[in-house]
Amino acid sequence: MSFEMTITARGQFTLNKGSMNHLGIRPGEKVTVSMEPDGTIRLAPAKRKLSLDDVLAGISKYDVGSAPVEEINRLVAEGYAEAGKRGLE
């Protein structure tokens, strides 16, 4: 799928709602831009920071006491990995 967009005088363009849905991003979220050797630009959603709320939301679909330990460990590990990238302990 491809479409045309207009670049403003400031070098900006606006993603339409369909493009944002395709990328899985919301207003205010970050994207990663990669400039390819052939002159194309690749746009992808940036990795999101995992907060405690995200961890709780991820395991809230399970009944109390029935969340698999592996799932809890994976979510917590993701949160620590993101914190480490920001220099937090």
What is the model's pTM? 0.49
Closest CA to 48 of 35, 39, 57: 57
What residues have CB less than 8 Å from 52, skipping those under 6 apart? 79
Residue 18 is given by DSSP the state H
- The DSSP call for residue 60 is T
Residues of the chain with pLDDT under 70: 48-50, 61-67, 80-89
* Token code pair at residue 30: 């970050």
DSSP 78: H
